[in-house]
Amino acid sequence: MTFNEYFPSPSDDSSSEQPLDSGGTPPDERGLWRRIPMKAKIGGAIVLLYVLVALFAPVIATHDPIEIDPVTRLASPTAEHILGTDELGRDIFSRIVYATRVDLPLGFLGAFLPALLGVALGAMAGYFGGWVDSVIMRVSDVVQAFPAYILIIALVFALGQGASSIIFAFTILGWVAYARLVRSEVLRVRTLDYVHAARVAGLSRFRILRVHVFPNVISQALVYLPSDIVFATLALAAFSFLGLGIPPPTPEWGAMIAEGQPFIRTNWWFATVPGLVIVGLGLGMSLVGESAEEALER
Amino acid sequence: MGRFSFIAKRLLQVIPMMLGIILVVFLLLQITPGDPVRQIVGLRATEEQLDEVREEMSLDDHVLVQYGRYVALIAQGDLGYSYKSKQPVTSLIRDRMVVTAWLLTAGIFLTLLISIPAAIAAALYRGRAADQVIRGAGLLGLSMPAFWVGVMLLLLVALPTGWFPPGGFGETFGERIRSIFLPALTLALGSSPFIIRSLRASMISVLNSDYVATGRASGGSRRRLIRRFVFRNAAVSSVTVLALEIGFLLFGAVVIETTFALPGLGQGLVLAARGRDLPAIQGYTLLFAVIVVAVYLLSDIAQAMLDPRVEIES
């Protein structure tokens, strides 16, 4: 395994392109597996690991993540508490494990829901044109003029702190890029011959959109999902770090870094490890995203 | 369409955009639960006092009338009074602006210092070790939360060396440089991967272009070609890319100012949100949006003036 195979660049795909099955036979299961680039497999394995940790959190965690123990405050790592305890005597390792159940699904939803709304609005704008298009595009201009994350702070303030406010704010501010992408794809696709043919054949507009336009457009949008999951996860952690995201005592990685920062002189692992956990998830997801982008470029 | 009518049209577009932005900020007041008058007067106020203030603020008027009045106030530079400090929001902003300006300037400077050489190396040695290392580092940079990078710089650089203060903003020029260096570096480490990625792509297209091939064929030295064509193009396009990233940089400032206890606009917004100080939140949000609109506008105008190839769509 060379370094090139981990990080092939899009311009030089000779190293990552696996030999295709020759002959007319369809690729079997093993052939398909071999054609997935190594970095997609590594990234996918990392993401899968986080999913498993989230699913089996009660089995993996050694303590109750929110149980306060005033006797063992800010303990160093021991056999009992492998990453020590926080200011309230809660087990840091167990909190990191349980936080996977907060950060992972919210990071995913924070990227998926805006994508869904954006694809729907973009498809409508592109297909119907006219005033529908104008309204959607003008609204997207205003939304885009705002620094989205800063408006999210204001919105979460207005809606009340908590996961649902954050996801709502992500959704109504994050759809713009997807809408623009899908709109331009729809404008391109709907001039194609087979879409004309479907229209001449008398198919309803909705049906044409669903059966002929949508499948063509969706792969473009899907490719951006992994990197948006990274952004959403980092942003969620940032809001919690600022004290404006997931309210205590729910364990959350960003909030744990904020809790650990005052103690970096004595308990350096407290703020360090939750950050490493975020970086790990981000790297895994980015590897998946890069492979998807490269696969689409070919 | 001529260049100047494009600029005039672009300037006119700012007006509806600003009205939309003010509308969103105005709506924050409408959707926030709780009585704003109660916030101002305090919990012990009598009904009469509440009515008096409500009368004074004309909160009983129609929403559209209130919106119109809000626009008029903002046009006069009046952003209201902070619930907490009872000072005008504009004076809060004025005090904090300097710190954020320092952070953004130093951050952008360090971003360019990192990105331009890295992007040139990645483009020249495309596909080879240098490119792969830069690409891997970029992937890592994109996955690291800025606030954590800040805490790590405090842990691994500020504490062992003692060269940098653990937080706050200095008084003298030297102190300011020292207190802004690590925050600016944090900002630069977060924004460089974006800049490197798009610069690398644009430089590869310059390297593959006909005029570089011509220059090479007519015997220009490699070093001279790089300086003359590649570097100049890179410098111009990196400014454009940075302009597009302004929203990202501002959010970076919010997070980093909080991490390093820098009394800038971003920290002001966070403290206002924690303290449920609505006029201050509205003021900061509006200001950040205006900065974004202004930077996009300037970058469009600069591009129209500088680059004769820009195709101006009607």
Q: How many residues does chain B have?
A: 314
A 10 A CB-CB count for B7 gives 16
- The secondary structure of chain B in percent helix, strand, coil, rounded to multiples of 5, reads 80, 0, 20
Domains of chain B: 2-75 (no CATH), 95-306 (1.10.3720.10)
pLDDT in tens, B72-123: 888 888 888 888 788 888 988 998 999 999 999 999 999 989 998 898 889 8
Residues of B in contact with A11 (CB under 8 A): 126-127, 204
| Residue B88, beta-bridge partner list | B81
Q: Is the pLDDT of residue B225 over 50?
A: yes
User: How far apart are the C-alpha atoms of B189 and A279, rounded to whole Å?
Assistant: 14
Tell me whether the omega of the peptide bond preceding residue A114 falls within 30 degrees of 0, making it cis.
no
| B5 compared with A102, residue with greater pLDDT | A102
Q: Which of A76, A106, A102, A94 is nearest to A232 (CA)?
A: A106
Inter-residue contact A291 to A40 (CB < 8 Å): yes
Q: What is the pLDDT of residue A17?
A: 41
For chain B, the average pLDDT equals 84
Instruction: Show the 3-state SS of chain A.
Output: CCHHHHCCCCCCCCCCCCCCCCCCCCCCHHHHHHHCCHHHHHHHHHHHHHHHHHHCHHHHCCCCCCCCCHHHCCCCCCCCCCCCECCCCCEHHHHHHHHHHHHHHHHHHHHHHHHHHHHHHHHHHHHHCHHHHHHHHHHHHHHHHCCHHHHHHHHHHHHCCCHHHHHHHHHHHHCHHHHHHHHHHHHHHCCCHHHHHHHHCCCCHHHHHHHHHHHHHHHHHHHCHHHHHHHHHHHHHHHHHCCCCCCCCCCCHHHHHHHHHHHCCCCHHHHHHHHHHHHHHHHHHHHHHHHHHHHHHC
User: Which range (A226-230, B206-210, B264-268) has the least confidence?
Assistant: B206-210
Q: Is B198 on the interface with A (CB under 8 A)?
A: no
Q: Return the SS3 of B35.
A: coil
The region, left, alpha or beta by phi > 0 then psi within -120 to 50, assigned to residue A28 is beta
Q: Which two tokens stand for residue B85?
A: 């400090």
Q: Is B274 on the interface with A (CB under 8 A)?
A: yes
Q: Which of A11, A260, A286 sits opposite B143 (nearest CB)?
A: A286
Domains of chain A, start order: 54-62+82-297 (1.10.3720.10)
Maximum Cα–Cα distance across chain A: 77
Gap from A110 CA to chain B (nearest CA, Å): 16
pLDDT reported for residue B39: 63
The answer to whether the beta carbons of residues B266 and B256 sit under 8 Å apart is yes
Please state, in angstroms and rounded to a whole number, the distance separating the CA atoms of residues B248 and B254: 10
Residue indicated by tokens 């008084």:
B171
pLDDT in tens, B300-313: 887 777 665 555 44
Q: Which residue in B17, B129, B159 is closest to A141 by CB distance? A: B17
Instruction: Return the residue matching tokens 């692992």.
Output: A269
Q: Do B17 and A6 touch (CB under 8 A)?
A: no
Q: Tell me what pLDDT residue B33 has.
A: 72
How buried is B98 (Cβ within 10 angstroms: 0-12 exposed, 13-18 middle, 19+ buried)?
middle
Residue A232: C-alpha distances to residues A132, A223, B104, B116, B253 (Å): 29, 15, 23, 28, 18
CA B314 to CA B308: how far, in whole Å? 16
Cβ atoms within 10 Å of A204's Cβ, excluding its own: 10
Of B33, B154, B292, the CB nearest to A145: B292
Residue B11 has pLDDT above 70, yes or no: yes
Radius of gyration of chain B (CA): 24
Question: A13 CA to chain B: closest CA distance, Å?
Answer: 9
B182: which residues sit within 8 A by CB, 6+ positions away? B150, B153, B154, B157, B158, B164, B260
d(CA B36, CA B39): 5
Report d(CA A139, CA A297) in Å as an integer: 31
Q: Which residue of B has its CA nearest to A12?
A: B127
| Residue of A142, A148, A157 with shortest CB distance to B20 | A142
- Rounded to an integer, what distance in angstroms lies between the CA atom of residue B214 and that of residue A98? 61
pLDDT of B206 strictly over 70: yes
Give me the amino acid identity at A6: Y
What single-letter DSSP state applies at residue B290?
A: H
Tell me whether B95 touches chain A (CB under 8 Å): no
Least Cα separation, residue A29 to chain B (angstroms): 30
Q: Which tokens is B74 given?
A: 């903002």
Q: What gap in Å lies between CA A231 and CA A178, rounded to an integer?
A: 15
CB contacts < 8 A, A to B, total: 167
Can you tell me the distance from the alpha carbon of B269 to that of B284, in angstroms, rounded to the nearest whole number?
A: 6
The angle, 0 to 180 degrees and rounded to 10, between the axes of the packed helices B146-153 and B173-207 is: 130
CB atoms within 10 A of CB B90: 15
Instruction: Report which secondary-structure segment, H or E, holds B22.
Output: helix B3-31
Which amino acid, residue A86?
Answer: D
* Burial of residue B154, with CB atoms counted within 10 A of its CB: 0-12 exposed, 13-18 middle, 19 or more buried: buried
Q: How far apart are CA B237 and CA B309, in angstroms?
A: 14
Torsion of CA B253, B259, B264, B268, to 10 degrees: 100
What does each of the 298 residues of chain A score in pLDDT, given as a tens digit?
333 433 444 444 444 444 444 444 455 556 777 778 888 899 999 999 999 999 999 999 888 888 888 888 888 888 888 888 888 889 899 999 999 999 999 999 999 999 999 998 998 898 888 899 999 998 888 788 778 888 888 888 888 888 898 999 999 988 998 999 888 888 887 777 877 888 788 888 778 777 777 777 777 788 888 989 999 999 999 999 998 888 888 999 999 999 999 999 898 999 999 999 999 999 999 999 888 888 877 6
Q: Which residues of A touch B21 (CB under 8 A)?
A: 142, 145-146
The confidence score (pLDDT) of residue A55 equals 94
Question: What tokens were used for B300?
Answer: 């469009």
Give the helix/strand (H/E) hosting B250.
helix B246-259
Burial A4-13 (b: 16+ CB within 10 A, else e): bebbbbeeee
> Which of 224-253 (B) contact A at CB < 8 A?
246-248, 250-251
B75 burial type by CB count under 10 A (0-12 exposed, 13-18 middle, 19+ buried): exposed
Tokens of B221: 């030295």
Confirm if B79 and B89 have CB atoms less than 8 A apart: yes
ipTM: 0.85
First-to-last C-alpha distance (Å) of chain A: 23
Is pLDDT above 80 for B210? no
Q: Residue B268: its pLDDT value, please?
A: 94
- The beta-carbon neighbor of A282 closest among B127, B142, B281 is B142
Report the pLDDT value the prediction gives residue B185, as an integer from 0 to 100. 96
pTM for this prediction: 0.84
